[in-house]
Structure 1
Amino acid sequence: MEFLVNEAVEDYAFQSTTPEPALLQELIDETNKNMGWPQKLSGRLVGRTLKLLAQLHQPKNVLEIGMFTGYSALSIAEGMPDDGKIICCETNPRAIEFAQTFFDRSPHGHKIEAIFGKALDTLETLDMTLDFTFIDADKRNYLNYYHKVLEMTRPGGLIVLDNMLWSGKVLQPESDIDDVLVDLNKEIATDPNVENLFLTVRDGINVVRKIR
């Protein structure tokens, strides 16, 4: 991922944000050492944003599309009530196995259930109304994920989408992935049934609240 702001400014924001717990710092280190594409981790700025949103919103029914090694799931779980539940969709069995070792060691791990398989298939099996969703998976399906999740979300519920600036490529789209994200950002901004805040945190986070 390219830095969208001055790297020194990004680092200053990182250093000036409350650190994640030691277990999550260990998860980062082990992901960097043992897993491919470690840059897929959400990282402190996104993770602490998710934790804070969950802490303020207190969701009971949470969905994550694209779990990877569990950093964002544990960040959200940290802010949730103790009886909350996160369903995590992930297509990499090695990532699920890796993440579970950290879930088992976390006081918040009991809130998390990882499901292997394509997210759109998993969504068809879920009979639940969502309070909070974090979407951070394959970008070509972002419109499909968003539309399905929006149907399942209660009025007042939150949907948080990561990588919505796509390293700035949304400004000059050149591929089908760029076009999907541009279309989705436009749809969200013009939909009277939702309100949103687009944050230029890391690679762009679009925070959407369903109104009705």
Structure 2
Amino acid sequence: MEKIKDPSIYRNPVILQSEDLTKYILETAVYPREPEPLKELRELNKDHPWGFIATSPDAAQLMALLLKVLNPRKTIEVGVFTGYSLLLTALNIPHDGKITAIDINRKAYDIGLPAIKKAGVEHKIDFIESAALPILDKLLEDPANEGSFDFAFVDADKENYVNYHERLIKLIKIGGLLVYDNTLWGGRVCWPEEKVPEHFRSGRNAAIEFNKTITNDSRVEFALTSVGDGLNICRRVA
């Protein structure tokens, strides 16, 4: 092996542009393994004016791996949009698995529904058109629901993430996973507030508050990852 005379040359490697790195990851590791139903739904999202808010395919790939390891049978999703992450979950849980899916907009869900039906997983989904907090509170009214869910995924209004977490931590069993999307808010969580455009500040501040809440929550082990727009992956331990 060649002797390195000056190791310092490796301390500051060339950093690729994030767009280039994302393109590399998608084309090398994600798209070649993306199931056809997910590809079909991703293509549909390209034509939607809000299609960019769908779960990123690289984050979805990590979620698929987590689901396969956990093998959950009872899951919950807060924020569905057209259903990319919902379809992903449905494809990676057992045939008798169930997903409680909550979103305020049925119209967006209906866009992805044909792809879900085509994949043969609609029977796993219980879609509820509603704001999420009332549904979560209703679930908690029944003591039998506490600790009965294996997995939760949240991709909804960031200002309510802390509120969602306080409900979901009671619904998820010990050893179960809670995954929160957009927790780095386009990287703006580390920007000085005055440099954040006004329309991004509310979400940015909510993400910062949520991440601090998770850091101080002894009920979970967690990893804040830079996959996609930031996944905060939590495992309930108490």
TM-score, structure 2 normalization:
0.82
Letter in 2 for 1:7: E
Deviation at 1:173, TM superposition (A): 5.9
Q: What's 2:175 paired with?
A: 156
Q: What's 1:177 paired with?
A: 203
**SS of residue in 1 equivalent to 2:127:** strand
Letter in 2 for 1:83: D
Deviation at 1:43, TM superposition (A): 2.6
Matched, 1:189 2:215: yes
Is contact 2:137-2:167 (8 Å) kept? Answer: no
Letter in 1 for 2:166: H
**Which structure would you say has the larger Rg?**
2
**SS of residue in 1 equivalent to 2:186:** helix
Q: Map of 1:30-179 to 2, 5 A cutoff?
A: 30-33=44-47, 35-126=48-139, 127=142, 128=145, 129-172=148-191, 174=193, 175-179=201-205
Deviation at 1:186, TM superposition (A): 1.3
Give me the identity figure in percent.
34
**SS of residue in 2 equivalent to 1:115:** strand
**SS of residue in 2 equivalent to 1:88:** strand
Q: What's 1:8 paired with?
A: 20
Between the two proteins, the alignment pairs up a number of residues equal to 208
Aligned CA-pair RMSD: 1.7
Deviation at 1:124, TM superposition (A): 2.2
Q: Which runs of 5+ in 1 are unaligned?
A: none
More displaced 10-residue stretch of structure 1: 126-135 or 147-156: 126-135
Measure the CA separation in 2 of the matches of 1:101 and 1:87: 18
TM-score, structure 1 normalization:
0.92
Measure the CA separation in 1 of the matches of 2:221 and 2:113: 34
**SS of residue in 1 equivalent to 2:156:** coil
1:81-126: per-residue Cα shift (whole Å, max 9, x none)?
1111011111112112222222211133321121101011121232
More displaced 10-residue stretch of structure 1: 90-99 or 59-68: 90-99
1:6-33: per-residue Cα shift (whole Å, max 9, x none)?
2111111112224321121111112222
Is contact 1:65-1:135 (8 Å) kept? Answer: yes
Deviation at 1:5, TM superposition (A): 5.7
Letter in 2 for 1:84: G
Is contact 1:173-1:179 (8 Å) kept? Answer: no
Measure the CA separation in 2 of the matches of 1:194 and 1:111: 27
1:121-153: per-residue Cα shift (whole Å, max 9, x none)?
121232432210000001111111111111211
Letter in 2 for 1:51: A
Measure the CA separation in 2 of the matches of 1:76 and 1:113: 13
